[in-house]
Structure 1
Amino acid sequence: MVQPILVVDHLKQYFKINRNFTVKAVDDISFEIYPGETYGLVGESGSGKSTTGRSIIRLYKPTSGTIIFNGKDISNKMSKESIKELRNKMQMIFQDPMASLNPRKKVIDIIGEGLDIHKNYQSIEERNEKIYEMLELVGLSREFASRYPHQFSGGQRQRIGIARALIMNPDLIIADEAISALDVSIQAQVVNLMKRIQKETGVSILFIAHDLSMVKYISDRIGVLHLGHLVEAGTSEEIFANPLHPYTKSLLSAIPQPNPKIEKKRKSYSYDYNSSGIDYNKGTKHFVSDTHYVLATDEEFEQWKLAF
């Protein structure tokens, strides 16, 4: 049996606003990611996707729950050695490539920052050669190393962000809305680049996005997040062929079709949690197959199965 590289178990991430109000951004979610796998985390804005990613990489301290990475618990206070290993073996690609790149630094220093911090080279020549190789891996010329971020397009800046993450040779990359700020044609280029790099390096990817069609293309398994709850999860084929939760159905129905004849007949379904009568806190995992489950009460599960 292959052991998962990441196990998230009953993760909660709350933010206390004042004495009377607390935002439950992530509310008791569990999933795992296996080596070489891409796990897609989808949902509307404010559903808790980015917060989940930031909690996993420990930009936030989890309110409760367990995060196991490479067999080690990283959810509580960590030693210096554990922090160093986490920073080496888990990297993040941020949503806005311009905001995440230092405008005062050249590309060679942006990409090599992780190498400099962790001293992962013997000489300056070795450092620079690693950076040049990484630039070429993401489809950029080594001549670009002496330029600044503002001299690049959005797609090129995102490639620089990918190179910065990959140069540390991580086991897991968290791609937080890494393509949402890009044009559609550039999105396809970046996603194809990530798939190619994954095939070459075997890195695992947590792909956070709200574009379901792109998530289907890149992901092996998908988790649907709503209001901090993982309402449905399964393989890409299972989620798209047999969606059970009303929220998943509403997301899938909103995907535009390239065929105008089909698009003309497409019906989109609306889902309102407040008027649906569904209470996520009362639901439990109901398995449709070994990999496909939905968060529901017994009555809701039977009703949704009959309605499909």
Structure 2
Amino acid sequence: MTEMENREPLLTVKGLKQYFKVSSTYTVHAVENVSFQIYPGETYGLVGESGSGKSTIGRSIIRLYDPTAGEIMFDGMKIGGKISRADSQKLRTQMQMIFQDPMASLNPRKKVRDIVGEGLDIHHMYSSSEEREEKIANILQKVGLAPEHASRYPHQFSGGQRQRVGIARALIVNPKLIIADECISALDVSIQAQVVNLMKDIQQETGTAYLFIAHDLSMVKYISDRIGVLHLGHLLETGTTAEIFEHPVHPYTKSLLSAIPEPNPIVEKQRIAESYDYKTSGIDYNKGTDHLVSGTHYVKCTDEEFQRWI
């Protein structure tokens, strides 16, 4: 991690806030003051329960939502507020997203050839139709599909194959960062392993960085270099995979890890899941600040809570 720290981060998020006005009297605070960094070629896992704001963060970073407040720097570009047309063009090619539902994210009326090649068409990234077809065939092979699959429609594939099409669509413009928004949650366990292994192989080959959003802690542990734990829109704890899993500090992180079932039935019988209720915990996320535990391990809490937990 020392070598990584000496490099410039690819993505820097500082104080990100994302609010949604529901009515004249009520506003949902989906994301509240979230800050983290992603370095080139690494995978940053973002975990938390449903409704914690994980997907909202991903969509705010890629500008599907306009952030309410905060600063987002991507590859030297400031993309948190209004951006120029040139920066927008650069952002659309260098940052891509893999969506959760592989069927809903693919146009059912288009063939795979046109779905995957849409990025090439929009950004004029080929000089002839032959070059376009060659690029599509190469990227399909890279994600484990045959070139002849290009002439099929999404409904003719299995769930795992459809997700591979989604990965191919994201990869074809050679992005520096891919936001994977729970891209394996709708798949069978065996297919999840295939897709995650595919993503790791592609990362080693291309050096692409991932923001990996997921519920499955074991899968996040397998693929991530660093992990951020999110709850109620607040980033409570962040650090390397080993730091989070071996030395969790925040009570919410401890409760998440204690809920992981053990494959050994003898150990599983003795496992005790820790309970955590924010309302009765006495913790106020809005008063917490980042405290350095060790290395790159941070926990968000007050000074008193930090002394008590450490």
Please indicate, yes or no, whether the TM-score normalized by the shorter chain is above 0.5: yes
Asked if 1:151 corresponds to 2:156, the answer is yes
1:40-189 equivalent positions in 2, closer than 5 A? 40-189=45-194
- Structure 2: which amino acid aligns with 1:85? K
Q: Which residue of 1 aligns with 2:243?
A: 238
TM-score, with structure 1 as normaliser: 0.98
Query: Displacement, 1:304?
Result: 1.1
Using the size of structure 2 for normalisation, the TM-score is 0.98
Code of the aligned partner of 1:265? Q
What displacement does 1:162 show? 0.2
Secondary structure at 1:233 match in 2: strand
Q: CA RMSD in A?
A: 0.6
Cα deviations by residue, 1:130-161 (Å, 9 ceiling, x for unpaired): 00000000001111110000000000000000
For 1:242, give the aligned amino acid.
H
How many residues are aligned here?
305
Superimposed CA distance per residue, residues 173-206 of structure 1 (whole angstroms, 9 cap, x where no aligned partner): 0000000000000000000000000000000000
* Superposition deviation, residue 53 in structure 1: 0.2
Unaligned stretches of 5+ residues in structure 1: none
Deviation at 1:22, TM superposition (A): 0.9
For 1:217 and 1:69, how far apart are their aligned partners in 2? 26
Question: Matched residues, percent identical?
Answer: 72
Following superposition, which runs of at least 4 residues in structure 1 exceed 2 angstroms of deviation?
A: none
Cα distance in 2 for partners of 1:259, 1:188 equals 20
Deviation per CA, 1:84-112: give whole Å up to 9, x if none.
10000000000000000000000010000
CA positional deviation for 1:262 = 1.2
Q: Distance between the aligned counterparts of 1:168 and 1:235, measured in 2? A: 29
In structure 2, which of residues 284, 293, 296 is the aligned counterpart of residue 288 of structure 1? 293
For 2:118 and 2:18, the matched residues in 1 are separated by 29
2:196 is the alignment partner of 1:191: yes
Give the distance between the partners of 2:182 and 2:153, measured in 1 at CA. Answer: 23
Listed as ranges, the gaps of 5+ residues in structure 2 are: 1-5
Alpha-carbon distance between aligned partners in 2 of 1:25 and 1:267, rounded to the nearest angstrom: 31
How is 1:289-304 mapped onto 2 (pairs within 5 angstroms)?
289-304=294-309
Secondary structure of the structure 1 residue equivalent to 2:35: strand
Q: Structure 2 counterpart of 1:147, which letter? A: R
Alignment of 1:215 with 2:224, yes or no, is no
AA at the equivalent of 2:205? E
